Every structure is written in structure tokens, then in C-alpha cells.
Amino acid sequence: MNEPINEQDYISLKVTPRELRYFVSCGLALIQNVPDESLSTYCGLSKDEIIEVSLRLREVAEKLGVDM
């Protein structure tokens, strides 16, 4: 995501390990099943942004020991 993220822009969220796996999987499934040119209309993020978010969430999962 190209815009800088400020500390006040973050949202605290509690999810279960299962829900975290869901978020990672759904992001990656979107880029596999929705044409690139439709992604921003469909979810407001580009393919690269979806990958970035999914990788960040996967990193959190790995740090917590959540099996993907």
C-alpha cells in the first residue's frame, strides 16, 4: 500500500487462529479468482495491495504459531 500508515490509523482487532487463516486465504483466493482489473472495484485494493496485506497477516500468524 503506497500511502504511509500512521499509528492512529491502526484498528485493534481480536480474531481466532481460524479467523486469521480465513483472512489470509480469502485475500489470496481473490487474486486467483477475480480478474486484476476488477479487484479494485470488488474490494478496493489492487493485486499488489492484496498480496502485501496477506503477507503481513501471514507474518502475524507465523509469529503466533498459527498453522496455515
Looking at the domain assignment, is residue 54 inside a domain? yes
Looking at the domain assignment, is residue 6 inside a domain? no
Looking at the domain assignment, is residue 58 inside a domain? yes
Q: In 3D, which of 35, 68, 61, 65 has the Cα closest to residue 50?
A: 35
Domain count, the chain: 1
Mean of pLDDT over the chain: 90
Residue 4 clears pLDDT 80, i.e. is over it: no
Which pLDDT tens digit goes with each residue over 40-67? 898 899 999 999 999 999 999 999 999 8
Predicted TM-score (pTM) of this structure: 0.78
What percentage of the chain reaches a pLDDT higher than 70? 96
Looking at the domain assignment, is residue 50 inside a domain? yes
Looking at the domain assignment, is residue 62 inside a domain? yes
**Do residues 39 and 47 lie in contact, with contact meaning Cβ atoms separated by under 8 Å?**
yes
End-to-end Cα spacing for the chain: 23
